[in-house]
Amino acid sequence: MEYAFNGVTPVILGFLDFGSRSGYDIKNAVDKSTRFFWAASYGQIYPELRRLEKSGLIEGESAPRGGRRRTVYTITDAGREALLRWLRAPELTREVRDEGMLKLFFAGALEPEEALGLLQAKRRQHEEALRRLRAIELDTPESEGLPYVVLQGGLAIHESIVEWCSKMERRLGKGGS
């Protein structure tokens, strides 16, 4: 049976392939890794966990902790097969949505100092992303393989954008547009 993946399905199956986790554990893992290129919210994760369990791709087991209800999920063989099919299929999503770039595109409607301010804010956001990724890098040994490779890609992207912003700030600061 083919399972209709949505935006959060591969995130859940991928993290469960690493090992059993609760929805909360998955969200924490996302926030420390894939969030920089593929985010997932609790509002997406928990309904998808129920859907995946109903479809037999994962199994949940009650594992209360400190008096709190908690379910820990494990990927099934069928879930791993679905994950492998997804990994081997051609890439379908390549959309980048960057509101800061969209604002810059239309910033000619602003005063030059305001447009420059948008670019400076974009640079600061990417510098902050670099700071967070570098903190993650300290806890991610090269031996982690592909997650480490992706982390290095994220660092390279944000470093490049910071460099580009700085260059364009100099240009706009000289009256260019």
> Could you tell me where the beta strands, DSSP code E, fall in 18-153?
21-22, 58-62, 71-75
Query: What phi and psi values does residue 71 have, to the nearest 5 degrees?
Result: -120, 130
Q: How far is CA 107 from the centre of its chain?
A: 27
For 148-162, the pLDDT digits (tens) are 999 999 999 999 999
Model confidence pTM above 0.95: no
For 31-60, the pLDDT digits (tens) are 988 888 888 899 999 999 999 999 999 999
Question: What does the alpha-carbon distance between residue 154 and residue 148 come to, in Å, rounded to a whole number?
Answer: 10
Return the closest-CA partner of residue 121 out of 96, 98, 100, 105.
Answer: 100
Overall average pLDDT of the 135-140 stretch? 87
For 70-89, the pLDDT digits (tens) are 999 999 999 999 999 999 98
Residue 125 token pair? 């956001």
Sheet of 71-75, strands arranged across = 21-22, 71-75, 58-62
Question: What does the alpha-carbon distance between residue 48 and residue 38 come to, in Å, rounded to a whole number?
Answer: 15
Q: Which residue has the higher pLDDT, 102 or 126?
A: 126
Question: What does the alpha-carbon distance between residue 119 and residue 168 come to, in Å, rounded to a whole number?
Answer: 8
Q: How far is CA 132 from the centre of its chain?
A: 13
**Please, is 174 exposed, middle or buried when counting C-beta atoms within 10 Å of its C-beta (0-12, 13-18, 19+)?**
exposed
